Structure 1
């Protein structure tokens, strides 16, 4: 039941001793040295003081990790994540206690039992961004209605792979009784399936926020009767074979530093073997298995192993019916990261059938 699911959220911090404070009159270099010595700090006076300290921390780390390569960028982000997690801000009665701070609805929704606590400043930033996305909604080129993603749920910010899938669905001529969407996330693929005539979609996810968020956003609408959700890995409680299985897995091998949302981005070494083993049992004899992927890990030299190609070469469970590829749009001119590799990136739709 939905009431049995506890959402992932930033853990409240309760300090027994007052933390050193940071405001505009305090030397930033000294504060950063303190952070590197694992000493937390509290943002006071203005919300912008937190932004100022984070910017200084980024500049400090840029000397150590200039970010010229993909791996260097990952190292920079890892160091930033560790140090910035020691920068706190105080919440009282579900409001930030500094001036010119944003109003964040998640503070009341996710922490009804706490009146006074601390959160890392970067987590508050994340809560603020997520609240704006949730409140205003996101327009996608493949859906009629906006999606309103819940806190802590991955949602697409690039649409090439969704367009490839939508085009595939337009040409799909098989039965449309039931599909399984493994890793339903913010529900986009399931919504696409319903849009293209599927009568029922069974969606699973290991992220409780995805299940809670979709359940809330669908409410008691017609969509809620067409999409059934299960908080579970892979296929969950669904054992009946279906016409179509859809999987948009993470595109990169697991990182050493994972937070909850990273499970939508990084895959562990057993994910694909477990998926293909279970998918074999749940696909009807003439059914289709569609996997939406990317060559991102290969072109950034994170790995030489393409998990789907490996399965086709060694698994003996499935054979390739078709593979569609689409070049990814180049990186925004606004991005500060070196993303020259984006010119080589392709999103992929692998259509497999029983071997």
Structure 2
């Protein structure tokens, strides 16, 4: 089964249509303190003249918030980021003819590719930054230590920036001696796990994702190549349309429990309370008697004291569906000395590869 690109509505920043209502303008000569007060009052600000003026305002906003908010613990860092997200998204940029209407601005191909019918509109500065970074990754590609070819992630698609769990999975695949007729990759994202399985000899990988951008991006990336005949895609939640039993199910879920409702991108980082119970229930229906269920996870939530609960341990203790064959771990590389975040907990972080079988 292969759903066509035209059937899927892509996630993208909602364009803000400019109205007659006058916006507060910000340029290099503007009063920064007064501008931040306007943001805190919930009023939008439009960046003018130079793109760098927006960068200056964002930096001043960060300094302002750091004076008021501690950012030492993992939870405090999350609270700081939430406050920064709220205020920074009141800072706007104007797009005219699919280009940023300020001087010395980056050229972002997504503005035309994602908005073919809307050439003049507004976006928030953080949204523009996200589009710009994504365009660079999409154009230039990303190297991973487990694949020969670069990934070219589509806008709004999760892709790995850390590789310890991928190396752990690749090493396991090298030793895997089971059948390699089919596998299911739940939450295929940028395709890295599926491509790893094809590299190690799997004949067919069925990939699903509830993010339409992931499906559209992979369809475009694979085109009519040999890989497109090895990897089949479906846009849907968890297992989507794939009902047939398989010998291997692979899942790289979010590693942190959600504290609030999730938006499209947060769903790649945080999981809600229903994700794992639903996944294990559906996986049981689709795993062949001698098949294996492989889950990539981390002790991140436990060592940062976000929660003591571990969803895989909980399933093994009370689910009654699966048993543990092996749990492999790999220490995460320590954070860069240049980072400004307090990441002492990284010295304790381990990525985990859980291999489960049917009871």
TM-score, length-scaled by structure 1? 0.99
How far has the Cα of 1:15 moved from its partner? 3.2
CA contact (8 A) 2:112 2:119 kept: no
1:25 matched to which residue of 2?
29
Where structure 1 has 5 or more consecutive residues not aligned to the other structure, the ranges are none
Q: Secondary structure at the match of 2:325?
A: strand
Aligned residues: 355
Pairing 1:281-300 to 2, within 5 Å after superposition: 281-300=285-304
1:89 matched to which residue of 2?
93
1:354 matches 2:358: yes
CA contact (8 A) 2:27 2:47 kept: yes
Once residues 199 and 302 of structure 1 are traced to their aligned partners in structure 2, the CA distance between those partners, rounded to angstroms, is: 40
1:5 matched to which residue of 2?
8
1:210 matched to which residue of 2?
214
Once residues 294 and 24 of structure 2 are traced to their aligned partners in structure 1, the CA distance between those partners, rounded to angstroms, is: 53
Q: Secondary structure at the match of 1:203?
A: strand
How far has the Cα of 1:64 moved from its partner? 2.2
1:246 matches 2:288: no
Pairing 1:82-121 to 2, within 5 Å after superposition: 82-121=86-125
1:14 matches 2:17: yes
CA contact (8 A) 1:78 1:257 kept: no
1:321 matches 2:322: no
RMSD of Structure 2 on Structure 1 (CA):
0.7
Once residues 180 and 320 of structure 2 are traced to their aligned partners in structure 1, the CA distance between those partners, rounded to angstroms, is: 27
Pairing 1:51-200 to 2, within 5 Å after superposition: 51-200=55-204
Once residues 238 and 308 of structure 1 are traced to their aligned partners in structure 2, the CA distance between those partners, rounded to angstroms, is: 23
Once residues 334 and 188 of structure 1 are traced to their aligned partners in structure 2, the CA distance between those partners, rounded to angstroms, is: 28
1:40 matched to which residue of 2?
44
1:264 matched to which residue of 2?
268
Q: Secondary structure at the match of 2:265?
A: helix
How far has the Cα of 1:334 moved from its partner? 2.0
1:221 matches 2:225: yes
1:311 to 310, 315, 320: 315
How far has the Cα of 1:6 moved from its partner? 0.9
Query: Would you identify which runs of 4 or more consecutive aligned residues in structure 1 move more than 6 Å?
Result: none
